[in-house]
Amino acid sequence: MSIVQKSKKGTSLVEVMTAVLISTIVILGGSFFYVGSTNQINLREQYRAASRLAGQKLEELKASSYDAVTIGEVKDSLTLENSTYSRSVVTEDLGLYKKVVVTVNWGPVGMERNLSLVTLIAPK
């Protein structure tokens, strides 16, 4: 008399569904991390571009003569690295110095970003 033993080496439906669930959670978590980090990289690039635009304007004003730096506000719009930036230059006369504030704005409505740089310009 021989006894036949059944093999239990197969995979059950519960095990397969658990593996699929775990894989889905890992893939979704990775994709959220990827999207979030991509957005942060883009934001940092925009901040760098805004910083360059503001710094460039300040250097331009510092290189000009003291009398050529006009009092008041001047605005312009620039496109750099597929983004549009609005730049505002406000100059005040403080007597011995002129205070210059360069503000760069960008971003969609409701999510606007801005960066400001301030310097004092003295007569040479």
* Average pLDDT of span 44-59: 93
Q: Tell me if 88 is assigned to some domain.
A: yes
Output the domain CATH number for residue 85. Answer: 3.30.1300.30
Print the domain residue range for 108: 13-121
Domain count, the chain: 1
Cα distance between residue 89 and residue 43, in whole Å:
23
Q: Tell me if 92 is assigned to some domain.
A: yes
Q: Tell me if 2 is assigned to some domain.
A: no
Q: Tell me if 4 is assigned to some domain.
A: no
For 25-50, write each residue's pLDDT tens digit.
999 988 888 888 888 898 899 999 99
pLDDT category of residue 94 using cuts at 50, 70 and 90: very high
pLDDT at res. 3: 67
Strand order in the sheet with 113-121: 72-80, 83-93, 98-106, 113-121
Cα distance between residue 9 and residue 15, in whole Å:
12
Q: Tell me if 59 is assigned to some domain.
A: yes
Q: Tell me if 6 is assigned to some domain.
A: no
pLDDT at res. 1: 58
pLDDT at res. 5: 64
Indicate the average pLDDT of the chain.
89
Q: Tell me if 34 is assigned to some domain.
A: yes
| 104 or 38, which is more confident | 104
Q: Tell me if 106 is assigned to some domain.
A: yes
SS3 95: coil
For 69-87, write each residue's pLDDT tens digit.
999 999 999 988 788 999 9
pLDDT over 70 (residue 7): no
